[in-house]
Structure 1
């Protein structure tokens, strides 16, 4: 099993960050560009990966009271992940994303995964900033 984890501080309350991250209709706006999520009957989702042009059955659960998203593949159990939002005071939050690859053949490697996680967190922060700026202004 291989695991990866990245964190980023965001200038918004944890509830605002979690609401953006957990919005199923907007997941494509912050997930890696090559992944597209189609919600079925939650927690069931289908994830399309552009790189392989394949659809994968997955699960996505949002635990608002814990400020946590959890996901993973349904049938093969080769991949899982979670996103955790925590308040750090002064109206800011820390977002941590963790990925676990149980099947090494699904692991793209350390640099591509860390780069994708960093870009995803950056894109999520951009969404959060737009929302917070729109609410404030």
Structure 2
């Protein structure tokens, strides 16, 4: 089993960050570029991976009261992850993403996973900032 975790501070309230991160319709805007999520009847989703061309049955749960997202493969149990948003005061939040690969064949490797986690958190930060700017302008 391999586990990876990355965190990033974002200049927004935890509720705002959570709402952006947990919106199933916009997951593609911040997830790794080769992953595409199609909601079924939640918590069921299908994840398409461009790299392999395969679709995987998965689960996605948003727990607003805990500011936590959880996901993972539905049938194979080879992969799981979570995202936790925590308020750190002064209107800022810390976002932590954790991935677990239970099947080593599905683990792309430390450098690749950590780089994708950093890029995903950067895209989520950009999405959050855009929504804040749009809200301030409107």
Bin of the TM-score, shorter chain as denominator length: over 0.9
Aligned to 2:118: 118
Matched residue SS, 2:117 = helix
CA RMSD of aligned residues (A): 0.3
Deviation at 1:136, TM superposition (A): 1.4
Aligned to 2:73: 73
Q: Which runs of 5+ in 2 are unaligned?
A: none
How far apart, CA to CA, are the structure 2 residues paired with 1:28 and 1:59?
15
How far apart, CA to CA, are the structure 2 residues paired with 1:21 and 1:54?
24
Structure 1 outlier segments of 4+, above 3 Å: none
Aligned to 2:11: 11
- Would you say how many aligned residue pairs link Structure 1 and Structure 2? 137
Deviation at 1:67, TM superposition (A): 0.2
Instruction: Give the structure-2-normalised TM-score.
Output: 0.99
Match status 1:54 vs 2:74: no
How far apart, CA to CA, are the structure 1 residues paired with 2:109 and 2:134?
38
Aligned to 2:134: 134
Q: Which runs of 5+ in 1 are unaligned?
A: none
Deviation at 1:106, TM superposition (A): 0.2
Instruction: Give the structure-1-normalised TM-score.
Output: 0.99
